[in-house]
Amino acid sequence: MVLKALYLSIILLLLAHAASAAPGNEYKITYTININEGGTAVWSVEYRTALVSKEDFDSFDNYTRQLNPVYLNEFKELMQRSVSEAANATSRKMAAGGFTGDAKVESAPTGTFGVVRYSFTWMNFAELDTDRNLKIGDVFVGGLYLSKDNTLIIQYPSGYTIEHAEPQPDQVRDSMVWYGLRSFKAGEPAIVLSRTSWMPLLIAISVISISAAGVFIYMRKARGKNAIIGTTVEPVAGNLTEADMMDVRDRIVKLLNESGGSLYQSEIGKKLDIPRSTVSTALNQLRDKKIIQKVKKGRENLIRLV
């Protein structure tokens, strides 16, 4: 009956607090258990009640002032005792620490609410097996009861999948959610979280990488062969006579005049169907004669008549 007593004690404690904070108003409790890879869980117990009248606000304000000196200590003593009893029942070392409590007023489209949150860390809340799978539920020795409109949320770490959950959650996203009214049997909710195996994925990535590398090498070789077989050797500017170079320079100047006085160097070669090396040599000669100028534009040269 360890955990049944634990949960009943929590509910009774919050009932007393809610009554003092907002007498006569309904409230909702949300239990959130955030479990990490080592099996440690951060618990958060939140309740919210509607604040309608001035008396509601005054009562909640009075409760807020007594939160840390009175109610947080009560919560701490309760949970430390419950964790100790759970450790004895499961024969697993456990500890509770990091207790915090806060109260605030929140406004929403549906109204104004007084919200109280208690949180603490429960070491070794879940059982961790040799494969680093997480088993949750052995601490719920006496089961669990959720009142109407109350919620239980169990959040699990990334890299884990739900292998088993009994009873089935009402909602699953990055966490498992159960809504009240609901009664859990002893040892429930019973959950097994299996660690996602990355080995098949790594093998698939390796195979894809090796295949891609093979294709790349094959294409490089194929391109190399094509380059040797099909490439036309450009004429070297140094092999041209001075008369030929003069003709090239005249053709470039004429093209620039017809193109408004400027063209990119790559365009000159394409338009005149002259090899790049010949164009470059001719342009250098024209620049030395101060007939054209080269202007760097990104990765290209813009050729302008002076």
Classify residue 18: in a domain, yes or no: yes
Report the percentage of the chain scoring pLDDT > 70. Answer: 78
Mean pLDDT of the chain, nearest integer: 81
Pick the residue with more confidence: 10 or 64? 64
Asked if residue 155 and residue 17 are part of one domain, the reply reads yes
The β-bridge relationship of strands 190-195 and 160-166 is antiparallel
Asked if residue 147 and residue 280 are part of one domain, the reply reads no
Of the residues 170, 197, 224, the one at which a domain ends: 197
Asked if residue 258 and residue 154 are part of one domain, the reply reads no
Residues 110-121: tens digit of each pLDDT: 889 999 999 999
Report the percentage of the chain scoring pLDDT > 90. Answer: 45
Residues 6+ apart with CB under 8 A from 155: 32, 33, 34, 35, 174, 175
Classify residue 215: in a domain, yes or no: no
Tell me how far apart the alpha carbons of residues 92 and 108 are, in angstroms, rounded to a whole number: 43
Classify residue 227: in a domain, yes or no: no
Residues 223-268: tens digit of each pLDDT: 554 443 344 444 455 567 777 888 889 999 999 888 888 999 999 9
Does the pLDDT value for residue 213 go beyond 80?
no
pLDDT, mean of residues 5-29: 49
37-65: burial string, b at 16+ Cβ within 10 Å, e else = bebbbbbbbbbbbbbeeeebbebbeebbe
pLDDT at 205: 55
**Strand arrangement, sheet containing 190-195:** 127-128, 134-136, 190-195, 160-166
Token pair belonging to 291: 């007939």
Classify residue 214: in a domain, yes or no: no
Does the pLDDT value for residue 216 go beyond 60?
no
Question: What is the model's pTM?
Answer: 0.59
If one counts the domains in the chain, the total is 2
For residue 303, the domain's CATH number is 1.10.10.10
In three-state form (DSSP H/G/I as H, E/B as E, the rest C), the secondary structure along 120-162 is: EEEECCCEECCCCCEEECCCCCCCEEECCCCEEEEECCCCEEE
Asked if residue 182 and residue 61 are part of one domain, the reply reads yes
Of the residues 181, 197, 213, the one at which a domain ends: 197
pLDDT category of residue 274 using cuts at 50, 70 and 90 = confident
Q: Map tokens 């409109």 to a residue.
A: 149
Least confident of 194-198, 244-248, 301-305: 194-198
Residues 6+ apart with CB under 8 A from 45: 10, 14, 29, 30, 31, 32, 75, 117, 118, 119
Among 247, 263, 276, CA closest to 304: 263
Domain that holds residue 282: 235-306
In the chain, which ranges are continuous DSSP H helix?
A: 2-21, 54-65, 72-90, 199-230, 242-258, 265-272, 276-288
Asked if residue 242 and residue 182 are part of one domain, the reply reads no
